[in-house]
Homo-oligomer: A and B are copies of this chain.
Amino acid sequence: MTNWQSTAPAGMMARFRQVRQQTLALCRGLSAEDMLLQSMPDASPGKWHLAHSSWFFEQFVLGRDPAYRPRDPAWHYLFNSYYQSVGPMHARPQRGLLSRPSLDEVRGYRQYIDDAMSELLNRGDDPELAALVELGLQHEQQHQELLLTDIKHAFWCNPLQPAYRAALTDTATAKAVPLRFVDGREGVVEIGHRGEGFAFDNETPRHRSLLHPHALANRLVTNAEYLAFVREGGYCEPGLWLSDGWATVQREGWQHPIYWQDDLASEFTLAGLRGLDPHEPVCHLSYYEAEAFARWAGARLPTEAEWESAAQRVAVDGNLQDEQRFQPRAANGDAALLQLYGDVWEWTASPYINYPGFRPLPGALGEYNGKFMCGQWVLRGGSCVTPRDHIRASYRNFFPPHARWQFAGLRLGQDR
């Protein structure tokens, strides 16, 4: 059924525990009240993330065994996100209204699932099972990232502007390396998942893609560079924007990135309000903002194929969730291309559509990615809230062009 290979059962058990515990670790310091917050329809409460990522195992792994008894059948409706083929679901914008089950009950639910999974994983070797478990863990890691992006937005909505982790304010004030452009490959290349290790269905099939002459910036765009765009009237000049983007700027009154203060001197972070570091990558841009900046800079966004062909030759490393910094960091190092992984997701010039020959996973899991292939743009490379063992060169993230609450920025590209 699945097309990826997975770890052996023994390793799988360890990995299962690690990922599941990491989710809980991310919730340390968040109260039951914090975990209930839903600040907008696009975001979900932390408690819901905890429950839904457990439900995923119940639905798609444990539920394959007819003998399995769900923790509470009524919760299926509450914690199904968008899988129409397994039944109706609680309306997304109302997730913040679920004070019951309580956070304690949801933690109990997680334990219930963990116990059942342990038992299942102990039963022995089953490649199909291992593949599904890996999918469930990758899914959970996506929700780890969302948990952090969502709580950041929710805290920002509170006039008290509370911090998620106060210690994060200790930031090295390194200088970003100078910007240069690095020529990319040209001609027919192969992109997409190669068939070893896990990948989502939307990364497949591996296929040939034609690259035109181009170059990529060696690092991400910095706050200082974006600040120049703001100061020079970027948000007042319709000629720099897509038509939909300009309409959004006008309608919403955008004047700077969402978490910047109006003084253009400080920004809201997971450590609370702090001074805007000019060397850090600009973060929390919409596609509209990233695209307008690139035009203003006389450049363009890279395509996802350009990005992937470059990233294929770079090992996954960088300022990822594992660093627990939860904030992008100034580019430094000698590599030709820096910051490909981590720091901020990079908006690309590529609409999110299927690869040639794409087949969604069979059954309800086919709803995971395929049905969203309209109206969104691809982002690449992961961010400072993405787990290191979750990201890879072929990974395709996607969001609508107005979305600002993700850890998203940009790298410039150029025609050659």
- State the A residues within 8 Å of B (CB): 31-34, 36-37, 39, 74, 77-78, 82, 84-85, 90, 94, 96-103, 154, 157-160, 162, 188, 207-210, 212, 238-239, 241-246, 287-288, 291, 349-351, 353-354, 356-357, 367, 371-375, 401, 415
- Residue contact A100 to B158, C-beta cutoff 8 Å: yes
| A374 & B401 in contact (Cβ 8 Å cutoff) | yes
Known: A36-B36, A94-B157, A349-B354. 13 other contacts (CB 8 A): A31-B32, A33-B100, A33-B103, A78-B159, A78-B160, A97-B157, A99-B154, A100-B158, A188-B188, A208-B210, A210-B210, A239-B367, A291-B374
Q: Is the CB of A39 within 8 A of B97?
A: yes
Show 17 A/B contacts (Cβ-Cβ < 8 Å), sorted by A.
Answer: A31-B32, A32-B33, A36-B36, A37-B97, A39-B97, A94-B157, A96-B96, A97-B154, A97-B158, A100-B160, A188-B188, A207-B212, A242-B372, A243-B374, A349-B354, A356-B415, A374-B401
Chain B residues whose CB sits within 8 angstroms of the CB of A39 once the complex forms: 97
The 7 A-B pairs of least Cβ separation, nearest first, read A351-B351, A33-B99, A84-B238, A210-B210, A212-B356, A243-B371, A34-B99
Closest to A245 in B: B374
Known: A33-B99, A33-B103, A159-B77. A401 touches B415 (CB 8 A): no
Residues of B within 8 A of A103 (CB): 33
Q: Report yes or no: A415 in contact with B357, Cβ–Cβ below 8 A.
A: yes
A293 to chain B, nearest CB (A): 15
Kindly list chain B residues whose C-beta atoms are within 8 Å of the C-beta of A401.
374-375
Q: How far is the CA of A110 from the CA of B39 in the complex (A)?
A: 26
Instruction: Please give me the residue from chain B that is nearest to A151 by CB atom.
Output: B99
A74 and B353 form a contact (CB under 8 A):
no
- The reply to whether B374 and A31 form a contact with Cβ atoms under 8 Å apart is no
A177 to B317, CA, bound (A): 58
Which DSSP category, helix, strand, loop or mixed, fits chain A's interface? Answer: mixed
Q: How far is the CA of A353 from the CA of B37 in the complex (A)?
A: 37
A162 contact set on B, CB distance < 8 A: 100
Q: A316: shortest Cβ distance to chain B, in Å?
A: 27
Residues of B within 8 A of A96 (CB): 96
A90 cross-chain contacts in B, Cβ below 8 A: 159
Most chain B Cβ neighbours within 10 Å, of A242, A350, A351: A351
Q: Give Cα A288–Cα B375 distance, bound, in whole angstroms.
A: 11
In the bound complex, do residue A188 and residue B159 qualify as a contact, i.e. CB atoms below 8 Å apart? no
A104, closest chain B residue (CB): B31
A102 surroundings in chain B (CB, below 8 A): 31, 33
Q: Inside 8 A of A74's CB, which chain B residues have their CB?
A: 159-160
Is there an interface contact between B374 and A158, defined as CB atoms closer than 8 Å? no
Cα distance A90–B31 when bound, in Å?
A: 22
Among residues of B, the one whose C-beta sits closest to the C-beta of A188 is B210
Inter-chain contacts of A353 with B (CB < 8 A): 349-351
Asked, given contacts A97-B37, A99-B158, A212-B356, whether A242 binds B374 with beta carbons under 8 Å apart, the answer is yes
Q: Please name the residue on chain B nearest to A97 by beta carbon.
A: B157
For A159, what are the chain B residues with a Cβ–Cβ distance below 8 Å? 74, 77-78, 90
A89 to chain B: closest residue by CB: B159
Bound CA–CA A291/B354 (angstroms): 13
